[in-house]
Amino acid sequence: MAPLRGRRTARRTLLGTLTGMLLAVSTIMVAPAASAQIPGQDEIAKSPNMELLANIPKQGPMAGVNNLGSDWAFQGKYAYGGNYAGFTVYDVSKPATPKVVAVVSCVGAQNDVSVAGNLLFLSTDSSRSDDSCQSTSKPASDPTAWEGIKIFDISNPAAPRYLKSVETKCGSHTHTLVPGGKGVSYLYVSSYFPADNFPDCQPPHDLVSIIKVPMSNPTAAAVIAEPNLFPDGGFPGGTEDPNDVEYTYPTTGCHDLTAYPKYKIMAGACMGDGILMDISNPEKPYVIDNVRDDENFQFWHSATFNNKANKIVFTDELGGGGWATCNEEIGPEKGANAIYEIKGKGDKRTLKFASYYKIPRPNADTENCVAHNGSLIPVKGKDIMVQAWYQGGISVWEFTNSRKPKEIGWIERGPLSTTQMIIGGSWSAYYYNGYIFSNDIQKGLDVVKITDKRTDKGAKVRMPELNAQTQPDYFDLD
């Protein structure tokens, strides 16, 4: 869920290089791929069934090129957009004319968000001097450094109020909300990249941190469990050069987890492993099955169930989101989605590979492009997903036939630059109450409409709330 994975650049090779790419405009001159299919600089190209309805640029402290737009959460008429510098609250009751309601300055990459009731949860995976929104950077090797979860009161969306922080091991790169019933919610915190000189992030770090939140008393939120998901150590990783597309990451934690509370299951994208988990007891999750793909997957990044919970779409964030991987040289199977079918029942369930899906359009060599965050479009009897691909734009695609996925619609901008790599494009593209909302890393909020007989029924499904990593059964809402 992030081109920049955390703050621990001292222990990265590939990702150390990406940090520089993401925190400053690259000065390396790159020749763009030659193709008539690639739109011109900042030019919008799209399929006939897709339309850009609105754009609101990043606001105030969010606007800098280094302050990347990140994840989304939705509640009622409001959309909450994360950014490395904080988060923005939008009124999207009229999607063609959205309005900015509040801009909350709170530095702490990558600031992924989720909402529940009157609370907003914010992930900090950036080693900070303290837990305030005015903190400064501090080395992770310093035992006084802080990172983890921040909790805000959003009972007044126009004036969010910071309530509480919870420190977690290795920070919080992403988090997943799991409803617990009886006024309790759980946050499953994903983090990774431990190091021997980090006092609060020691290897092997094969765990997730579980925070229990009493919803009526959020200041009592605390870590209540740290289950080890990989007692065997997880995938050991490849031995090649990490700057090579053939490199595969060892598992040292999870990048992203997606819960499907109705079925009491969770899918995990955990660097070198894709996992299916049982969360019947949310304080004691356990792994049912895991899969690996050391041939084509470099970094298991995120996961999405289909509505029937018999398939999972895993993504591979090849190059950490900072490479141009949507081209003929990389090909259709690296930096792609992998569709897995769930076979069997109970603890005997297994994951069976079906196919890969990658956008079929080439991108310029100055465009970072790889599979990233998306959500289902709720069409009964069909498996259809909208997905962000950074500067590859937004793709709407169908995987009802697991072995023959196909694109339904798409929209993208041309490269931010034709001579140098500038990190940009759609980070998260989610479908909410009939519209696609994209958090563009550089361009801000995009509202997109798809008009197609294959997806139109999805516009009739109305949801009171959406955290994409906490999947609902869309048709329980009819």
What value does the mean pLDDT take over residues 428-452?
98
In a domain, 1, yes or no: no
Residue closest to 53 by CA, chosen among 455, 448, 426: 448
What value does the mean pLDDT take over residues 157-162?
98
Q: What Å distances lie between residue 274 and 132, 265, 467, CA to CA?
A: 34, 14, 21
Q: Is a pLDDT exceeding 70 seen at residue 411?
A: yes
Exposure letters 209-237 (e unless 16+ CB within 10 A, then b): bbbbbebeebeebebebebebbeeebbeb
Q: What is the pLDDT of residue 8?
A: 43
DSSP calls for 93-133: SSTTS-EEEEEEE---TEEEEEEETTEEEEEEEEEESSSST
Dist. CA 256–CA 302, nearest whole Å: 5
In a domain, 73, yes or no: yes
Q: Which residue has the higher pLDDT, 96 or 29?
A: 96
For 172-217, strand residue ranges (E) read: 174-181, 184-190, 209-214
Dist. CA 12–CA 319, nearest whole Å: 12
In a domain, 318, yes or no: yes
Dist. CA 203–CA 338, nearest whole Å: 28
Phi, psi dihedrals of residue 219, rounded to the nearest 5°:
-70, -10
In a domain, 3, yes or no: no
In a domain, 252, yes or no: yes
Q: What is the pLDDT of residue 182?
A: 87
Instruction: Look up residue 127 and give its two tokens.
Output: 């080693």
The predicted-structure confidence for 243-277, as pLDDT tens digits, reads as follows 899 999 999 999 999 999 999 999 999 999 999 99
Contacts (Cβ under 8 Å, ≥6 apart) of 289: 275, 276, 349, 350, 351
Contacts (Cβ under 8 Å, ≥6 apart) of 210: 186, 187, 188, 189, 223, 224, 225, 226, 227, 282, 283, 285
The pTM is what?
0.94
| Residue 386 · residue 347 · CB < 8 Å | no
In a domain, 22, yes or no: yes
The predicted-structure confidence for 106-136, as pLDDT tens digits, reads as follows 999 999 999 999 999 999 999 999 999 999 9
Residue closest to 254 by CA, chosen among 202, 183, 188: 188
In a domain, 296, yes or no: yes
| CATH code: domain of residue 51 | 2.130.10.10
Q: Is a pLDDT exceeding 80 seen at residue 26?
A: no
Lowest mean per-residue pLDDT among 33-37, 49-53, 116-120, 332-336: 33-37
In a domain, 2, yes or no: no
Domain that holds residue 240: 9-476
Residue closest to 287 by CA, chosen among 233, 230, 237: 230
Instruction: Look up residue 219 and give its two tokens.
Output: 């200041």
Q: Is a pLDDT exceeding 80 seen at residue 15?
A: no
pLDDT bracket for residue 35 (50, 70, 90): low
Instruction: Look up residue 274 and give its two tokens.
Output: 């894709």
Q: How many CB atoms lie within 10 A of CB 202?
A: 13
Q: What is the pLDDT of residue 14?
A: 34
Phi, psi dihedrals of residue 23, rounded to the nearest 5°:
-95, 0
| Residue 160 · residue 179 · CB < 8 Å | no
Q: What is the pLDDT of residue 477?
A: 62
Exposure letters 285-313 (e unless 16+ CB within 10 A, then b): bebbbbbebeebbbbbbbbbbbbebebbb
Instruction: Look up residue 290 and give its two tokens.
Output: 């895991």
Q: What is the pLDDT of residue 346?
A: 97
For 203-271, strand residue ranges (E) read: 209-214, 222-225, 256-260, 265-270
What H or E segment, with its residue span, contains residue 301? strand 300-305
Dist. CA 376–CA 69, nearest whole Å: 21
Dist. CA 389–CA 325, nearest whole Å: 10
Q: What is the pLDDT of residue 243?
A: 87
**Long-range contacts formed by 164-169: CB under 8 A, 24+ apart:** 164/218, 164/219, 164/221, 165/131, 166/211, 166/221, 166/222, 166/223, 167/131, 167/200, 168/209, 168/211, 168/223, 169/200, 169/201, 169/205, 169/207, 169/209, 169/226
Q: What is the pLDDT of residue 32?
A: 40
| Residue 79 · residue 92 · CB < 8 Å | yes
Q: Is a pLDDT exceeding 90 seen at residue 104?
A: yes
| Residue 268 · residue 351 · CB < 8 Å | no
Q: What is the pLDDT of residue 241?
A: 86
If one counts the domains in the chain, the total is 1
pLDDT bracket for residue 36 (50, 70, 90): low
Q: What Å distances lie between residue 130 and 84, 91, 212, 352, 412, CA to CA?
A: 16, 31, 22, 44, 39
471, HSE (Cβ side, Cα atoms, 13 Å) = 26
Dist. CA 55–CA 39, nearest whole Å: 19
Percent of the chain with pLDDT over 90: 90
Lowest mean per-residue pLDDT among 178-182, 311-315, 389-393, 396-400: 178-182
- What is the average pLDDT value for the chain, to the nearest integer? 92
Q: What is the pLDDT of residue 12?
A: 33
What value does the mean pLDDT take over residues 374-400?
98
Q: Is a pLDDT exceeding 60 seen at residue 4?
A: no
Residue closest to 371 by CA, chosen among 453, 426, 445, 433: 426
